[in-house]
Structure 1
């Protein structure tokens, strides 16, 4: 027997509230109906979706993976219904977005453009700030969702995440740099070079971890919060830089070429994702934004 949309709705409600009783109350149905739906859904999928504990329920790893698909299916069904509604039936309401500085320039613009095209009647407000402050706003209910680096989340117990991309660190070099011609580049090779370090809030913690991997004090030539400054400094030979691949562009603002190379060794990765408050029901506008972000990433990954 295949799962039903109703079972998906019940599953998502329980995942968001962390409780069968709260989900049943929100859905205006009996707890037994929710429990029975979850039982049949787990049997149909052949996996355990929730861990049961004294405080309620939390999704298992498989449950978290299935939650992404369930949200996407429900958003797609909603979109299909709206496609045949009268013009006045388009999705309306508000969407309060949060975004960190790095994500504003490299991730949010495309997502926001696609969302606005799909939902022109939704009023969107975006707040740019540090990851720490966005977490505060999410937990306080002042934001629906935030697009941010999730690798260094501080309050994982209170927040739900949907990973959109995983970006490895790579070495940025000026054109003609000797390391660019080597078959393999190691951290010991990089340790000999002057470093240009990006200190934006959302990746500063990962940068500290990265520098500690050198095993000795690195030769830092410049610290900056500007990615464009890093590009210009690297391109003109002031030093090299290790940065997540998601911000790599082959040219500086002045038009100088920048090379990018892999480095052997255990380098950190940056996870980019959407974050929202755990246990808080998502609005339809937030669901649509998440579904559009998922579809956007799926197309980029092909």
Structure 2
């Protein structure tokens, strides 16, 4: 297989911009060169990476898998270019990190992978629980740091944080839903639709807050703590949902397609961040972990 680093960079740019023209602008290369690179990648891998449509491109299921590997490659090369020196490689100790379920599933793995490559002698212990309990552990000094949804923090007088990712919300629909042809949805278009509620990591509260803009609550058709359950139900037309773009995937496990539409209204964002107890003096491993997640954000 003959794949170059340059082709991988172009692929990531197009995937993130959802457009060949915007991706070529992002990397400062002609559109034809980016198009040739994508075609070469598809030939070399033997799979279709993008669906082409008049408004741009969308990743296929295989494209999503390739994107994850591509980002890992870019991260590894960045580590080498940054010169992972002797001092980093020999740093020792341990750090305890609190996380919430959505963070574990959609944000944590790349951070941990990069940190372990940089600091193989530091032991990372992950504690996963609900947001309120992670806050309790953080304030009590039982964990060093937390990576969680910081837009929902309660004990803000005792906790400092830095936002790492801000994710907009989208309406998820089956591709054959009557509203799938509408370019920009209004929440009023969805008011009488059956809703699939995700009871995970306070996402249900987010949806209820959005629907509180109306005079009556949403018609909850199903309530589940399974993200894949939400995808399957939406993909088979059992209802719609509103969730952050962070957790969007265009396929259910059974292969049912899901589309995400941007609502016309300004909706609350879901902010993922790293948090710590205020006025805490961090250990060296905790400081190095914070630096790693900040670099990941950049």
TM-score relative to the length of structure 1:
0.69
Aligned partners of 2:131, 2:288: CA distance in 1, in Å?
Answer: 23
1:211: how far off?
Answer: 2.1
Q: Is the 8 A contact 1:138 1:144 kept in 2?
A: yes
1:261: how far off?
Answer: 0.5
More RCO (CA 8 Å, sep 6+): 1
Of the candidates 69, 82, 85, which is equivalent to residue 83 of structure 1? Answer: 85
Query: Residue 179 of structure 1 aligns to a residue in which SS?
Result: helix
Deviation readout 1:63-92 (Å, 9 max, x if unpaired): xxxxxxxxxxxxx9xx97x714496xx110
Q: Is the 8 A contact 2:100 2:147 kept in 1?
A: yes
1:156 maps to 2:156: yes
Who is 2:231 aligned against?
231
Q: Is the 8 A contact 1:149 1:202 kept in 2?
A: no
Query: Residue 107 of structure 2 aligns to a residue in which SS?
Result: helix
Who is 1:97 aligned against?
97
With over 3 angstroms needed to count, the CA separation of the structure-2 counterparts of 1:116 and 1:192, relative to structure 1, is same
Q: Post-superposition, which runs of at least 4 consecutive aligned residues in structure 1 deviate over 3 A?
A: 84-87
Deviation readout 1:4-43 (Å, 9 max, x if unpaired): xxxxxxxxxxxxxxxxxxxxxxxxxxxxxxxxxxxxxxxx
Aligned partners of 2:290, 2:276: CA distance in 1, in Å?
Answer: 10
1:201: how far off?
Answer: 3.1
Q: Is the 8 A contact 1:149 1:203 kept in 2?
A: no
Aligned partners of 1:143, 1:86: CA distance in 2, in Å?
Answer: 22
Matches within 5 A, 1:102-113: 102-113=102-113
Matches within 5 A, 1:1-302: 83-85=85-87, 90-298=90-298
Q: Is the 8 A contact 2:171 2:260 kept in 1?
A: yes
Q: Is the 8 A contact 2:161 2:273 kept in 1?
A: yes
Q: Is the 8 A contact 1:174 1:257 kept in 2?
A: yes
Deviation readout 1:193-228 (Å, 9 max, x if unpaired): 111011113333322211212332211101111111
Aligned partners of 1:177, 1:150: CA distance in 2, in Å?
Answer: 33
Query: Residue 201 of structure 1 aligns to a residue in which SS?
Result: coil
Q: Is the 8 A contact 2:203 2:243 kept in 1?
A: no
Find the structure with the greater CA-based Rg: 1
With over 3 angstroms needed to count, the CA separation of the structure-2 counterparts of 1:85 and 1:184, relative to structure 1, is closer
**Structure 1, gaps ≥5 residues long:** 1-75
With over 3 angstroms needed to count, the CA separation of the structure-2 counterparts of 1:176 and 1:91, relative to structure 1, is same
